[in-house]
Amino acid sequence: MAGMIGQLRSVVVDCPDPRALAGFYAELLGLPLIEDNSDGDDWVVLGGAPGHQPRLAFQKAPDLREPRWPDPERPQQFHLDVTVDDIEAAEQAALALGARRLPGEGDGFRVYADPAGHPFCLCWD
């Protein structure tokens, strides 16, 4: 590879209620909400200023069709893998925040949905 074209600025998630979903991921990942980079309830940013990783943003999409794992008619669109030390404790904490278990797990991961229906995995080594 000759060189880098750019750096990842943000992972952006479309959702009906950006502030609520940002609150879920702020608790799940321990990332601060950055009001200076947010725009009311339509664009909410976690993590830091551009160039500081990780950075996760949430964008208002009022008519978003919720993904249905593993239904190919309503695909997952994206997902995050979150590394945890203790899967049982992490699962209980995620469920308490509003996540729900989805079908699917394998050697080292379990599948969940966030409160807006986006799949994510809790992973362990």
- 55: domain range? 1-64
- State the CATH number of the domain containing residue 119: 3.10.180.10
> Over 70: is that where the pLDDT of 65 sits?
yes
How many domains is the chain partitioned into structurally? 2
Tell me: the pLDDT tens digits for 33-58?
999 888 999 999 999 776 677 789 99
The model's pTM: 0.80
In this prediction, what percent of the chain has a pLDDT beyond 90? 58
Examine the domain organization and report whether 1 and 55 are in the same domain: yes
- One domain for residues 6 and 50: yes
Amino acid 72: pLDDT:
87
Task: Indicate the residue among 42, 64, 86 that finishes a domain.
Answer: 64
Which H or E run contains 87? helix 87-97
Spatial distance between the Cα atoms of 67 and 38, rounded to a whole number of angstroms: 25
- Residues 22 and 32 both lie in one domain: yes
What are the structure tokens assigned to 49, written together?
């200023």
Residue 88 pLDDT: 95
Same domain, 25 and 70: no
